[in-house]
Amino acid sequence: MPQGAITRGTTNTNRLRRSDRWLATWPGLRRVSSAHAVDLGYGASSATTRELTARLSKVRPDVHVWGIEIDPVRVAAAQKELAQITPPVTNVTFAYGGFEVPVPHGIAPVVIRAFNVLRQYDETEVPAAWAAMLARLDPEGVLIDGTCDEIGRVSTWVALTPEGPQSLSLSLRLNDLETPLIAAERLPKVLIHRNVPGEPVHAFLAALDSAWRASAPLSTFGAVQRWQAAVQSLATSGWPIVGGRSRWRLGEITVRWDAVAPLSAS
Ligand SMILES: C[S@@+](CC[C@H](N)C(=O)[O-])C[C@H]1O[C@@H](n2cnc3c(N)ncnc32)[C@H](O)[C@@H]1O
């Protein structure tokens, strides 16, 4: 039996562009001898699986992407759709399965993307789901457990390696952004109930919001300048920000996991 349960299949073309862009920079993707990626829980349409394939192929033209779904009807539909494409697509496979990531024996994916999947589970189910997926990952691989809005303007994800969670990223469309607190309602399941006073992720979002407000005068130079100043201010005040200005200019901020991890299981 696949691990997990069928949930809503809501998806949308191009809504995972922010996290895909980040995944394409993962160092292990370039280093592994044979590149396999898994899109776990692709939903009612396989469009985002094919987009992931196109984006990763730019870095690893030989990448093979496995779209895994726990709803057999969605698997059959994706397989049928794929079979109708000409010329035939040979670098994507759709298969039935769950958090056990049933790629053929011997394949250790360097990327596992589980986006908008765990958000429909209970917080207590997250550790076991992470452990199951991490057990299949290449030693140089990354798993992202993320959440985004309908059209991908607000996106957040936890990045994990086989050693466990490493970072939290927020990626926001900066034009017309009022406050980065908008990310609070799209946090991954492991954090969404922890955005309360006393929890580190609450302090992080509050610090980011405060820095964003303090940087308002820079709006005259554009939202990117304002965001970069806000992120720089967090880094200067001691938040362990990962990644440099080239990431910030995309509306991203990545912070080390130990700075935002939940204090304890509820
Ligand atoms: C909201 S859709 C997400 C679609 C796409 N990833 C996106 O973000 O646009 C969630 C999908 O995950 C599937 N799903 C839920 N639990 C799963 C599991 N354990 N293994 C594989 N797929 C799962 C559901 O059946 C559903 O189709």
- Report the pLDDT averaged over residues 229-234: 98
Beta carbons of 221 and 168 less than 8 angstroms apart:
no
**Residue 264 pLDDT greater than 70, yes or no:** yes
- Report the pLDDT averaged over residues 152-176: 97
Q: Is residue 167 part of a domain?
A: no
Q: How confident is the model at residue 265 (pLDDT cuts 50, 70, 90)?
A: low
Residues 192 and 63 in one domain: no
- Report the pLDDT averaged over residues 172-198: 97
Residue 20: other Cβ atoms inside 10 A: 24
DSSP, collapsed to helix, strand or coil, labels residue 38 as strand
Distance between Cα 129 and ligand 1 center (Å): 13
For residue 101, the domain's CATH number is 3.40.50.150
| CA 2/CA 101 separation, integer angstroms | 9
- Higher pLDDT pick, 169 / 266: 169
Tens digits of residue pLDDT in 126-157: 999 999 999 999 999 999 999 999 999 999 99
Burial class (CB in 10 A: 0-12, 13-18, 19+), 73: exposed
Residues 153 and 230 in one domain: no
What strands, in cross-sheet order, belong to the sheet with 36-40? Answer: 92-96, 64-69, 36-40, 111-115, 142-148, 154-161, 164-172, 252-256, 241-242
Beta carbons of 182 and 174 less than 8 angstroms apart:
no
Tens digits of residue pLDDT in 202-214: 999 999 999 999 9
Distance between Cα 80 and ligand 1 center (Å): 19
Q: Is residue 6 part of a domain?
A: no
Pocket of ligand 1 (CB under 6 A): 3-4, 6-11, 15-16, 40-43, 48, 68-71, 74, 98-99, 115-117
Distance between Cα 117 and ligand 1 center (Å): 4
Tens digits of residue pLDDT in 233-257: 999 999 999 999 999 999 999 999 9
The per-residue pLDDT for 154 is 98
The per-residue pLDDT for 90 is 95
The per-residue pLDDT for 139 is 98
Angle at CA of residue 167, ends 113 and 68, nearest 5°: 10
Q: Is residue 168 part of a domain?
A: no
- Report the pLDDT averaged over residues 51-77: 98
DSSP, collapsed to helix, strand or coil, labels residue 255 as strand
Angle at CA of residue 179, ends 239 and 21, nearest 5°: 70
Q: How many domains does the chain have?
A: 2
Q: Is residue 10 part of a domain?
A: no
**Residue range of the domain that includes 65:** 17-162
